[in-house]
Structure 1
């Protein structure tokens, strides 16, 4: 398959274009939500924090609902609903008149995120035509989204350097417009044609029956799929690695290492640029391996990165900067190795009629780390900076080994990264 085949049709070019606009808008405003609410409202900071944290906890309860919606409505309609809910939620933040309005707006944003992250992998899986691997799809889409998020964050930084609350509100209005535009365009896309090559995925991960049996069993089939739930548990441990760029590293670099405040921003910029440049190259290099082994390699890169960050502790500033740069390269390699392989495995291991429910179970791993992660990172940093990297390394290492431990329970077709891959 050629590198440009994912945008080889007008439908796909439109899809990727809308993804670009929507993701740039999300990258520009979402990281600034708390700052906007603190500067643009009279609400106490503690109450804002409680509402936003409560939204994260509610997300755990909304995952099953999002999975059922994706199976019943289809992935395309689920993404349309996600973008529409996001637009409504962001619109509710434009002019806030009290905390009840904030609660409602955050509820819509939280629901939109669950619908989006459950529906998006299913939508990508439906777009892959016969002969195209999910690994390549997820690799290209992830690189695309990484670059768009980085561009959005850069635009926001530039805007904030010359603006104030009014600038934040303008960015928010752009995000509102992008969300509604995405909903309209996605609603007008033609559904992806069913591919004969997709029928094999109806078998599930190994313990389930055929597609009709799976559809009838619903959530019972998902919860009885022990290989899949074990893989999700391993992925939950692995997702704690992704706390590094936005949660763990900024505080560690500035507070523990006493580096200048621009260093975390530079590290984040590296993390967004490297996948754009090298994601497809890394994915092609991993084709001969089983997906579980690709995830293990990614976990190994993560652990090496954590070791470098730990080595920067109490080191001279120049050496700490060198460790930070090398650590971000290794961390990005970990993302590029483990991310697409784990996502592709999660979709190929799911029966097609239940992909929404299976996706919601798999996405729960991200919700757990996003909710628990900041508290874990804060507690460990408050105790001992080196303890943070030890605990994260143990979690991520266990996650990578957990994927390998599950591989004997999955059919060979699920473990392959391509027609001739997955032999090692």
Structure 2
């Protein structure tokens, strides 16, 4: 059975993910507007408070890995949903920037816990050869639901203004509680206990695992490119290139349509490739997209919008090839049944760029050629980090006990062939 078919059989889990993601889509696009319009903060104060709270949440990443080890992934997902609901509830009473920072910290810390627990849960439910298809199926589901949530947010804002923002916040909090209730009925197989409890994985061991760290570094650097269609282009096309205001909408729509419509087809098409080869292809496609981005300003105005759409589609294809494959590779590299600390670090591959990227792009758009060069440098560094994985793999592993070298070989060798 395919990973997507297996995921469809987990109906309560699929429904939990869908409801939680729709709720996020309803409120997250409007979160800063909520603080400005309803809570009457300045945009600068609200943005700073949210950024500080988000960055502070990275301090709990090691604790999240330990929590997954101690409580199990399902329990941690439940705790994460409850914390998310409570954190968004605090937004209703946040009357000072410090309170916004604290509430944001609760929400984003719960996201850090979710990011550690979710791949670990998938590792319990999916066979090793199904991991990529599972992560692809979840990506399609979440992307679709996020789009529906964003459309609902736009409708609420148009129909009810500030009151609609409060409704969106309440719906987001309620969706987390409902997602937690649905998770209660999801059966999760117990993990095999580690053979040597003294040698259990931890954050320090994951940081010493050079192939895994190379994967994290490569994917974190690559994720800077994913921000171009949704963060950079809306400002760049309208403010810098003076294109009609509909082009950013077209760009974002194409990005999401490509991801939703082609995710499973691309996954099936690449199923015969090694994970290393798929990741190299994604890095190359991202580099080509950035090179094309750098030429947009020199093109005739009539071609600038279509070129941006082409960039968005190329990056979407690279992202939907890279993300599920990298997640499956990370799970395979982690110790079987003890994935929590590894997965807590792996979430940096998408959370770092979304935390600091908007600020960097906002400043960088004062000098677009320099911004594109910097993003190209990130992709080049991603390729280098990925290339370093192969020779480092020949080194003895740091994190497995001496009695398990054969297990390590069986886990790694099939996935990292040239």
Q: TM-score, normalised by structure 2?
A: 0.89
TM-aligned CA deviation for residue 321 of structure 1 = 1.5
CA contact (8 A) 2:52 2:101 kept: no
The equivalent of 2:20 in structure 1 is: 22
CA contact (8 A) 2:3 2:130 kept: no
The equivalent of 1:146 in structure 2 is: 143
- Report Cα offsets for 1:136-159 as digits up to 9, x if no partner: 111111111111111211221233
CA contact (8 A) 1:289 1:416 kept: no
SS at match of 1:351: coil
Equivalent of 2:169 in 169, 172, 175:
172
- Rounded to whole Å, the distance in 1 between the matches of 2:384 and 2:268 is 22
CA contact (8 A) 2:120 2:339 kept: yes
Structure 1: gaps spanning 5 or more residues = 203-209
TM-aligned CA deviation for residue 45 of structure 1 = 3.1
CA contact (8 A) 2:87 2:103 kept: yes
Comparing 403-412 with 295-304, greater Cα deviation is found at 403-412
Matched, 1:5 2:2: no
Equivalent of 2:226 in 235, 242, 260:
242
The equivalent of 2:155 in structure 1 is: 158
The equivalent of 1:232 in structure 2 is: 216
- Rounded to whole Å, the distance in 1 between the matches of 2:221 and 2:255 is 21
- Rounded to whole Å, the distance in 2 between the matches of 1:179 and 1:271 is 26
The equivalent of 1:93 in structure 2 is: 91
The equivalent of 1:65 in structure 2 is: 63
- Rounded to whole Å, the distance in 1 between the matches of 2:42 and 2:306 is 40
- Rounded to whole Å, the distance in 1 between the matches of 2:3 and 2:221 is 32
Equivalent of 2:250 in 266, 270, 273:
266
Structure 2: gaps spanning 5 or more residues = 394-408
The equivalent of 2:397 in structure 1 is: none
Matched, 1:387 2:384: no
Equivalent of 1:321 in 281, 305, 318:
305
Equivalent of 1:183 in 169, 180, 183:
180
TM-aligned CA deviation for residue 249 of structure 1 = 2.0
TM-aligned CA deviation for residue 337 of structure 1 = 1.2
SS at match of 1:313: helix
- Report Cα offsets for 1:202-242 as digits up to 9, x if no partner: 7xxxxxxx664531x63342232122222222222112122
TM-aligned CA deviation for residue 317 of structure 1 = 2.9
- Rounded to whole Å, the distance in 2 between the matches of 1:131 and 1:49 is 41
Count how many residue pairs are aligned between Structure 1 and Structure 2.
403
Paired residues for 1:24-423 under 5 Å: 24-128=22-126, 130=127, 132-192=129-189, 212=197, 214-215=199-200, 218-382=202-366, 384-410=367-393, 411=409, 413-414=411-412, 416=414
- Rounded to whole Å, the distance in 2 between the matches of 1:170 and 1:233 is 39
- Rounded to whole Å, the distance in 2 between the matches of 1:8 and 1:141 is 10
Q: TM-score, normalised by structure 1?
A: 0.88
TM-aligned CA deviation for residue 389 of structure 1 = 1.9
